[in-house]
């Protein structure tokens, strides 16, 4: 009978070293993917809540955006917050209201980055934001010169992670665009938005159109 040869200590240690290197290389990527899918799911839920609220208000003859004054209704006077409270609560329960952008409580503007890790500076006006029960932030505002010089874009920011890091457009911060002609919300990058037909969701891009890519590809679904 042939005597079986066991692994030497050196071989065992080498195998463990290789496994350790593989784990170090792959586990962070897997964890990041899991975290990203959590962000995407929260974004999609928040987006759907706002979209349904706008649609429901439209059915009642009300609008979140004043097309004549080109301003979100809520920023005119404090009483107009009732419009947001009225419809958003129907779909998503109580929320914390935040007058304008407050990086300590509500939204980290203007200190966030794109997927390319470059800081993005946006000229945001007439802004109001809300903290949801799951600590995501929904913020309404207008961006000057978004997509084209002189353009005023009414947008909704959704930060799936609130004020916590990474605060990165396309990863935990997403943009939706208010189509004032049709009185409906569209994910940035969809037809009718300032960045339609543009692919800006790669790691070397800004991340502006990731909202559209996530919804189009149903990346928000838990696998």
Under a CB-based contact definition with an 8 Å cutoff, are residues 156 and 139 in contact? yes
Q: How many Å separate Cα 60 from the centre of its chain?
A: 28
Q: For 94-153, what is each residue's pLDDT tens digit?
A: 677 676 555 555 665 556 789 999 988 777 776 777 888 888 888 888 887 776 666 778
Structure confidence at residue 79 (pLDDT): 45
In this structure, what token pair is assigned to residue 214?
């996530």
In this structure, what token pair is assigned to residue 67?
């097309």
Helix (H, G, I), strand (E, B) or coil at 119: strand
Could you tell me whether strands 173-179 and 184-187 are parallel, antiparallel, or unpaired per DSSP bridges? antiparallel
Under a CB-based contact definition with an 8 Å cutoff, are residues 92 and 133 in contact? yes
| Whole-structure pTM value | 0.79
Q: For 155-172, what is each residue's pLDDT tens digit?
A: 899 999 887 888 899 999
């Amino acid at each position: 009978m042939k005597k079986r040869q066991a692994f030497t200590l050196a071989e065992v240690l080498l195998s463990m070293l290789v496994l350790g290197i593989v784990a170090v290389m792959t586990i962070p990527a897997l964890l990041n993917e899991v975290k990203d899918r959590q962000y995407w799911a929260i974004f999609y839920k928040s987006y759907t809540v706002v979209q349904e609220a706008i649609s429901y208000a439209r059915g009642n003859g009300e609008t979140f955006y004043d097309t004549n004054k080109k301003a979100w209704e809520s920023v005119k006077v404090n009483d107009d917050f009732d419009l947001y409270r009225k419809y958003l609560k129907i779909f998503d329960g109580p929320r914390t209201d935040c007058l304008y952008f407050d990086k300590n409580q509500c939204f980290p503007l203007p200190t966030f980055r794109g997927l390319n890790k470059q800081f993005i500076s946006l000229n945001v006006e007439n802004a109001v934001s809300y903290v949801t029960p799951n600590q995501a932030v929904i913020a309404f505002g207008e961006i000057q010169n978004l997509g084209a010089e002189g353009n005023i874009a009414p947008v909704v920011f959704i930060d799936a992670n609130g004020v916590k890091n990474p605060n990165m457009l396309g990863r935990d911060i997403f943009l939706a665009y208010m189509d004032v002609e049709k009185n409906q919300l569209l994910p940035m990058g969809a037809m009718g938005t300032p960045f339609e037909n543009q692919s800006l969701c790669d790691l070397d891009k800004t991340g502006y159109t990731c909202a559209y890519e996530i919804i189009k590809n149903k990346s928000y679904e838990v696998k």
